[in-house]
Structure 1
Amino acid sequence: MTIDTEVRQIIAEQALLDISDVTAEKSLEDLGIDSLGLVESIFAIEEAFDINVPFNANDPQASDFDISSVGAIVKAVEKLIQDQRG
């Protein structure tokens, strides 16, 4: 499974959607994911990839982790994996 597919699957599970509905250009808000769902998604991503996401749940916009769209989240996860595994 690719990083893209795995991240989309995690988000789909949080939103109770089919993975085909979770496309790169959609925001979490578009998918009906609230702040609690976002935090749960971040935890699931951290666990799935054994990474630490620099995420501020109280102010997601202040984070270096881009949550503006599914595609942005995938790119951020790919970068974290590369940075943390060297």
Structure 2
Amino acid sequence: MSESIQDRVIAIIAEQAVLEPGDVSLDQTLEDLGIDSLGLVESIFAIEEAFDISVPFNANDPSESDFDISSVAAIIQAVQGLVADQAA
């Protein structure tokens, strides 16, 4: 059975934070995990590559982006939406 989107996103975020996936919880923010702006951009690139999607993210102004990075759960939900849109 293939990994779920949630598991894959958590693995990518954990790798950027230099943590084990089990140490990442859904309610944490990237800041909580010690991921800085460069780590965020690297995470976005890794997510795009892993799921073959294009993330609508403005690294210069994340608050103006359509991609919610407010928590791990929000990132997972946004990726699930992009993957579903691509499949449709």
TM-score of the pair, normalised by structure 1: 0.98
The number of aligned residues is 86
Tell me the distance in 2 between the aligned counterparts of 1:43 and 1:15. 15
Q: How far did 1:85 drift?
A: 1.8
Aligned to 1:65: 67
- Which residue of 2 is the match for residue 52 of structure 1? 54
| Counterpart residue number, 2:27 | 25
Alignment partner, residue 83 of structure 2 = 81
- Structure 1 stretches (4+) deviating beyond 2 angstroms? none
Q: Distance in 1 between matches of 2:25 and 2:82?
A: 21
**Selected match of 1:40 from 30, 39, 42:** 42
Distance in 2 between the 1:18 and 1:67 partners? 20
The alignment-based identity, stated in percent, is 67
- Say what the alpha-carbon RMSD is for the aligned residues: 0.5
Q: What 5-or-longer segments of structure 1 have no aligned partner?
A: none
Q: Deviation of residue 28 (structure 1)? A: 0.1
Report the Cα distance in structure 2 between the residues aligned to 1:77 and 1:49, rounded to whole angstroms.
8
Q: TM-score w.r.t. structure 2 length?
A: 0.96
Report the AA paired with residue 69 of structure 1: S
